[in-house]
Amino acid sequence: MWMVYGLSAGALLGLYDFWTKKAMNGNSVIPIVFWSSLFGAIAWLPAFLPVSDSLGFYVDWTQTNVHQQALILVKGLAMTFSWVFAYYSVRELPMSFSGAVRASGPLWTFAGGALIFGEYLSPLQFSAVLASILAYYALSLVGKKEGLRILRNWPVLMMLAATVLSAMTTVYDKFLVQTLGLPVYSIQAYSAFHRCALAMLVFLALSWKQRRIMRLRWSVYVPLVGLSWVGAELIYFFAIADPVSNVTYLSIFRRVSLVVGFFLSVLLIGERNVLPKSAIIGLIMISTAVLILQE
């Protein structure tokens, strides 16, 4: 089931990426980070009400100490900075390219999983991971036809930074759940509020510097960004809570988001060079299937 959860989270993240692209239209990065994180925190408010105990997701605030809150805050810091970098990149780049830069994500996660959890892959499994990474790299090469120079493009470098931070939090999440034994719902609920508080501090600081409140061009995509992240993270945590789950596999499965986001971009935004990009994405799907069948 952890594989099903991982693939489902990846599919929902594809919607999240697309809605982020739409929400960024006409907006600055920081307002979107703040307002989307606010809706994400609001979504977790019912978990603190006693009535949620009967539904199985009650979070008792008296059972988390200061040390545990500090550990969860580390996750919130990494994710907030990852969002700032990623949102800027998504705003500036076509969805296929911003997804392509995430190619290094599984490699970073594999390194962390191997060093911390001893998760080593067989030669065939490692070949599937490598094929997926090379496919993302090939997708980025297509970008040269559209005038994108990887090493000279700040949005690309920001997405790389966001990818490294995301890979770090993937490994850190498993550490919080399986090594420290922190409750899944508590991690997510408190992290959502931490991210909202951090984003609000940045939002207010920049508003004060500009001597005006940073404006937001409202659309339905703004709350959808925050709510879809909460849903994807919840499903993803069901996956990593399984003792046999593999964070390298989960990192690959999360790349299903590229497939969903790409086809939505083709249909609704007008993505270019569809055929070569589709062939490369097909290779990504095949490598993902190999990982599943070899488990």
What integer pLDDT is reported at residue 56 of this predicted model?
75
What integer pLDDT is reported at residue 198 of this predicted model?
95
Q: Residue ranges per domain, the chain?
A: 2-293
Residue at 85: amino acid letter: F
Those residues with Cβ within 8 angstroms of residue 84's Cβ, 6 or more apart along the chain or in another chain: 29, 30, 33, 202
195 to each of 75, 161, 191, how far by Cα in Å?
A: 9, 18, 6
Task: Tell me how crowded residue 45 is: count the other CB atoms within 10 A of its CB.
Answer: 12
Q: Looking at 45-120, list the stretches that DSSP marks H as alpha helix, in order from N- to C-terminal side.
A: 66-92, 95-101, 105-117
What integer pLDDT is reported at residue 168 of this predicted model?
80
Sign of CA dihedral 53, 58, 62, 67: positive
* Cα–Cα distance measured from residue 228 to residue 186, given in angstroms and rounded to the nearest whole number: 18
Look at the block and give the residue holding tokens 């545990």.
68
* Cα–Cα distance measured from residue 250 to residue 240, given in angstroms and rounded to the nearest whole number: 8
**The tokens of 11 are what?**
């599919």
Report the candidate in 97, 94, 133 with the shortest Cα–Cα distance to residue 284: 133
Letter string b/e over residues 229-262, b meaning 16 or more CB atoms within 10 A of that residue's CB: bbbbbbbbbbbbbeeebbbbbbbbbbbbbbbbbb
What integer pLDDT is reported at residue 146 of this predicted model?
63
What integer pLDDT is reported at residue 4 of this predicted model?
87
Output the tens digit of pLDDT for each of the chain's 295 residues: 788 888 888 889 888 888 988 899 889 999 999 999 999 999 999 998 888 887 777 888 778 889 999 999 999 999 999 989 988 888 887 766 666 666 556 666 666 666 666 666 677 777 877 777 777 677 667 766 666 665 566 777 888 788 788 878 877 888 888 888 888 889 999 999 999 999 999 999 999 988 888 888 999 999 999 999 999 988 988 887 788 887 767 777 776 777 777 777 777 776 677 777 778 777 776 776 676 566 5
Quick one: three-class SS letters along 16-62?
HHHHHHHHCCCCCHHHHHHHHHHHHHHHHHHHHCHHHHHHCCCCCHH
Report the candidate in 169, 174, 163, 172 with the shortest Cα–Cα distance to residue 106: 163
* Cα–Cα distance measured from residue 35 to residue 195, given in angstroms and rounded to the nearest whole number: 11
**The tokens of 285 are what?**
């799907």
> How many residues are listed for the chain in this entry?
295
Q: Are 48 and 61 in contact (CB under 8 A)?
A: yes
